[in-house]
Amino acid sequence: MRIGSMGGFACWLAVLAITPAALPQTAQRLPSVGILNYDAAQDVRVNQFRDALGELGYVEGKSLAITHRWADGALDRLPELAAELVASKVDVIIALGPAVWAAKRTTTSVPIVIAFSGDPVGDGVVPSLARPGGNITGFSYMSTELAAKRLELITRAFAKNNRVGVLYNPLEPATRLEMRETESAARTLNVALHKLAVRNADELEQAFATAVSERTDALLVFTHGFAVLNRTRIIGMAARYGLPTLYGWRDFVDGGGLMSYGPDIHVLVRQAASYVDRILRGSLPGDLPVQRPTRFDLSINLKTAKALGLKIPESLMIRADRIIEE
């Protein structure tokens, strides 16, 4: 055999030895995740989700592409934003809170992971928790199931006259079932509910003024997208109007709210990132069960209680999982 032929054979072997990892990254399409969010651009949940993906080994721009669309609280913008993500051909969409409805109505083929949603089965997002089927899976924060417990906690602690206000946005899908369960619990507890519907932030002031004029003892906030987006304002008004208030998420207590009862949403967001990872690796969303939290925290802010001139009942102090004193 001639020397020249041997050199060509060696070159051919060298080409075969190149692995996909050694190829230029520009030759490979990065896996793509679309984030659909009701809240604002700097929503802490989005940052937590990105951090969780990083802990799973993804590097944005190098091993993963992320496209973020947010509605700044405008529910009617979500369908358009969902359509943009689908048109950009993302591999999976993660939907936060009320954004899941827009994602569901926009595509039946692109996998959708619910970061957190009030009641996916009751609201008709999926037919079953164990076997969601189709292109949607994710996590529930059980707003419907926890409604009665929340009303019981705020009533027994502060509603001396059994008059409780409920602050909610009637436009949000999760509201209907949570209100139904709250009304049922109110009949059992012999509580008079004062419904305070707010559709935008400008209506909050009037809602709190109405609560006070109706001699409401305490306030229950339905912790969905609207409340999260307007968290600081709601907490501030509860303090200014002197209303003992219970929220669904511990973030509100960390931010100066009086009490909360519910799951740690940060945990759900981290778990949602793991579902996105599994789908990118080939799992079908319909085969992944919709999960519910197994732990619920009662958080109390004693600094806020002191500012309101309230004494937290000993029965609640004993049960509390988190107490903020300073």
Q: Which residues of the chain are under the pLDDT cut of 70? A: 1-27
Please tell me if the domain spanning 30-142+265-287 has the same topology as the one spanning 147-262+296-324.
Answer: yes
Is the CATH code 3.40.50.2300 the one for domain 30-142+265-287?
A: yes
Distance CA 174, CA 197 (A): 14
Cβ-proximal residues to 128 (8 Å cutoff; 6+ apart), any chain:
121, 290
What SS3 string covers the chain? Answer: CCHHHHHHHHHHHHHHCCCHHHCCHHHCCCCEEEEEECCCCCCHHHHHHHHHHHHCCCCECCCEEEEEEECCCCHHHHHHHHHHHHHCCCCEEEEECCHHHHHHHHCCCCCEEEEEECCCCCCCCCCCCCCCCCCEEEEECCCCCCHHHHHHHHHHHHCCCCEEEEEECCCCCCHHHHHHHHHHHHHHHCCEEEEEECCCHHHHHHHHHHHHHCCCCEEEECCCHHHHHCHHHHHHHHHHCCCCEEECCHHHHHCCCCEEEECCHHHHHHHHHHHHHHHHCCCCHHHCCCECCCCCEEEEEHHHHHHCCCCCCHHHHHHCCEEECC
Domain range annotation of the chain: 30-142+265-287, 147-262+296-324
Report whether CATH 3.30.70.60 matches the domain 147-262+296-324. Answer: no
Q: How many residues can be counted in the chain?
A: 326
The single-letter code of the amino acid at 178 is E
What per-residue confidence (pLDDT) applies to 217?
96
Query: Nearest 5 degrees, angle CA 101-CA 87-CA 95?
Result: 30
Distance CA 75, CA 322 (A): 33
State the virtual CA torsion across 128, 129, 131, 136 in degrees, nearest 10.
90
Taking residue 323's Cβ as centre, other Cβ atoms within 10 Å add up to 14
pLDDT score of 27: 52
Quote the pLDDT of residue 118. Answer: 87
140, 291 in Cβ contact below 8 A?
A: yes
pTM reported for the whole predicted model: 0.87
